């Protein structure tokens, strides 16, 4: 019962944050609602017993990735977004379609699936067991992701650096 | 006792919110945040199924998804900075050339 109450409370916070992300027009407000979504998702992971995933969710997502987002928003001085014709078309056609599809999927999942239920902390995903799995069964994917992150770092540096134009006179830089 | 389908419905709602944000938002940074929202929705269903079937592989997959999302965020935000430097706008409607 406690499990269900906690799930519903933090699920409601999660959905409210997601809807607020869509409703806000300033990027900083959207970023802060995304932090709310991620923090409440971390609680949902804890309810499922995934302690390691919950910790990584807070550290990596709510910490590192969101700091990156907010840093870029402040660096580019992003302001209110303006509505255009394209977004109106998407609003009229896309939103009802997505809502219908979502309701259909929710109805099917609740009424037609017998996926069973989970108890509080059913599967303890402690860092020890996850680490054993990661460095034993998933060793090759783990090493491949390290290469991926290295490439991503180099790509970010190359893309974000200022283009060098040494031959142009001052005031004519692109 | 919470049915797994509740978790899946929550995950579906988050994914739908991400898709809607991707469609209606015109700021490129907010569109990027919608993508992160979709990834989070998928992660929740991974963890729910891992708990249901008693297999930790689902949680390891979530770890990999997070690594890919972090790498994607770093590269994507660098691209946004490069686009802003040449076009002076963050509105995707005004960015219609792939050339930087």
Do residues A75 and A136 both lie within one domain? Answer: no
**pLDDT of A70-116, one tens digit each?**
999 998 887 777 766 666 777 788 788 888 888 888 888 888 777 77
Do residues A9 and A69 both lie within one domain? Answer: yes
Do residues A77 and A133 both lie within one domain? Answer: no
Q: Does A106 touch chain B (CB under 8 A)?
A: yes
Sequence-distant (6+) residues with CB within 8 A of A48 are A118, A121, A122, A123, B7, B47, B48, B50, B51
Domain end: A25, A57, A81, which one?
A81
Q: Which residue has the tokens 């990834």?
A: B39
Q: Quote the pLDDT of residue A70.
A: 92
Instruction: Say if A90 falls within a structural domain.
Output: no
Instruction: Say if A93 falls within a structural domain.
Output: no
Q: Quote the pLDDT of residue B38.
A: 94
Q: Does A154 touch chain B (CB under 8 A)?
A: no
Pick A48's closest partner by Cβ from B1, B51, B78.
B51
> Which span out of A76-80, A118-122, A146-150 was modeled with the highest average pLDDT?
A146-150
A69 in Cβ contact with B35 (< 8 Å):
no
Do residues A74 and A143 both lie within one domain? Answer: no
> Among positive and negative, which fits the CA dihedral A143, A42, A15, A71?
negative
Q: Quote the pLDDT of residue A174.
A: 47
**Helix H or strand E segment including A117:** strand A117-118
Domain count, chain A: 2
Mutate to test the interface with A, among B19, B34, B41, B63 (most CBs of A within 10 A): B63
Instruction: Say if A150 falls within a structural domain.
Output: yes
Instruction: Identify the structural domains of chain B with CATH numbers, from first to last.
Output: 4-94 (1.10.287.3510)
B41-100 residues touching A, CB cutoff 8 A: 43-44, 47-48, 50-52, 54-57, 59-60, 62-64, 66-75, 77-82, 84-86, 90-91, 93
Share of chain A above pLDDT 70, in %: 89
Q: Quote the pLDDT of residue A113.
A: 72
Q: Quote the pLDDT of residue A10.
A: 94
Q: Residue B90 and residue A76: Cβ atoms within 8 Å?
A: yes
- Domain range enclosing A67: 1-81
* Set of chain B residues whose Cβ sits within 8 Å of the Cβ of A68: 73-74, 77
The ipTM assigned to this model is 0.91
**pLDDT of A12-30, one tens digit each?**
999 999 999 988 889 999 9
Do residues A7 and A77 both lie within one domain? Answer: yes
Instruction: Say if A110 falls within a structural domain.
Output: no
Distance in angstroms (rounded) separating the CA atoms of residues A102 and B15:
9
**pTM for the model:** 0.88
Q: Quote the pLDDT of residue A84.
A: 67
């Amino acid at each position: 019962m406690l499990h269900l109450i906690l799930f519903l409370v933090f699920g409601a916070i999660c959905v409210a944050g997601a809807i607020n992300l869509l409703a806000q027009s300033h990027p900083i407000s959207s970023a802060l609602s995304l932090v709310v979504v991620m923090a409440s998702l971390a609680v949902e992971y804890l309810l499922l017993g995934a302690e390691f995933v919950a910790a990584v969710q807070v550290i990596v997502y709510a910490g590192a990735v969101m700091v990156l987002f907010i840093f870029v928003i402040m660096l580019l001085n992003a302001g209110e977004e303006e509505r255009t014709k394209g977004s109106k078309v998407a609003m009229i056609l896309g939103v009802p379609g997505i809502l219908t599809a979502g309701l259909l999927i929710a109805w099917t999942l609740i009424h037609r699936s017998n996926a069973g239920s989970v108890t509080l902390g059913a599967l303890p995903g402690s860092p020890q067991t996850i680490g054993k799995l990661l460095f034993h069964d998933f060793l090759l994917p783990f090493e491949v992701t390290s290469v991926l992150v290295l490439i991503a770092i180099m790509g970010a540096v190359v893309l974000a650096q200022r283009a060098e134009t040494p031959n142009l006179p001052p005031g004519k830089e692109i | 006792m919470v049915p797994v389908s509740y978790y899946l419905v929550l995950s579906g709602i988050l994914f739908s919110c991400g898709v809607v944000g991707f469609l209606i938002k015109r700021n490129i940074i907010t569109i990027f945040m919608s993508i992160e929202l979709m990834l989070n929705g998928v992660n929740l269903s991974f963890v729910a199924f891992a708990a249901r079937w008693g297999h930790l592989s689902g949680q390891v997959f979530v770890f990999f998804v997070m690594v890919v999302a972090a790498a994607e965020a770093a590269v994507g935000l660098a691209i946004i900075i490069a686009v802003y430097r040449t076009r002076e706008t963050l509105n995707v409607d005004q960015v219609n050339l792939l050339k930087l």
